[in-house]
Amino acid sequence: MVSSIIILVFCLVAFAAIHSLTASLSFKRFIMRGLGSRADNLYVPVYSLIAVLTLLPLVYLLYKNPGRILYIIPSPWRWIMVGGQLIAAVIAPMAFRDGAHRFKVRSQLSAPQTPEAGSLKIRGIYRWVRDPFLLSGLVIIWLTPIMTLNLLVIYLLTTIYLFLGSFHWETRLVAQFGDEYREYKKRVHRIIPGLRGRY
């Protein structure tokens, strides 16, 4: 049991390392040098594909060895939880649609208040929550109606990674949009829709 958890943690750490590397500004500068303006169109789909491919071994191992069952939520609560997961799964595509300007490589590498950086466009889901990816990720994992020991360990570590990644992402957004984003942070909460900001 301990060995299976160690293998799962290793897979998660490997995923996090690759995910963080391909999201880093130094990697994006490398991509810009190689692809130029095409980087803006190719980066997000390729980055997403790499994320999925590097996550598959972890999903497979969890499927093959989920570990001891800790709890199973009975119906009808189970279906309410699954419904919440499905709603959260819709948030990520909405976040890409409503904030496409945030993911352009050229913009992320530019200084605030320059034409390349662009202006902060608050629309759609970003009017309610600053980090819809963090929100959807947390909802999807913690509304899982069947919890096992191995899942719990991976979910705890994933939650930590998502939180740290969110802070890092917002640091970049402040660098990209400057005071415009700082004011936005005061108005909108990072995770909880409808609350005022600060965190």
- For 10-62, the pLDDT digits (tens) are 889 999 999 888 888 888 888 888 887 777 778 888 888 888 899 999 999 99
Classify residue 9: in a domain, yes or no.
yes
Q: Look at residue 120 and tell me if it is in a domain.
A: yes
Q: Is residue 192 part of a domain?
A: no
Q: pLDDT value at position 136?
A: 94
CATH of the domain at 127: 1.20.120
Contacts of 140 by beta carbon, 8 Å cutoff, 6+ apart: 85, 88, 89
**14 inside domain:** yes
**What tens digit of pLDDT does each residue of 163-195 get?**
998 988 888 888 888 888 889 999 999 998 878
Following DSSP, what letter does each residue of 38-96 receive, concatenated? GHHHHHHHHHHHHHHHHHHHHHHHHHH---SEEEEPPTTHHHHHHHHHHHHHHHHHHHH
> Whole-prediction pTM value?
0.85
Per the structure block, which two tokens stand in for 8?
A: 């799962």
131-145 pLDDT per residue, tens: 999 999 999 999 999
Q: How far is CA 9 from CA 12, 13, 140, 141, in A?
A: 5, 6, 19, 16
Q: How many domains does the chain have?
A: 1
Domain that holds residue 68: 2-187
Whether 198 is covered by a domain: the verdict is no
168 assigned to some structural domain: yes
Q: Is residue 19 part of a domain?
A: yes
Whole-angstrom distance, CA of residue 85 vs CA of residue 45: 23
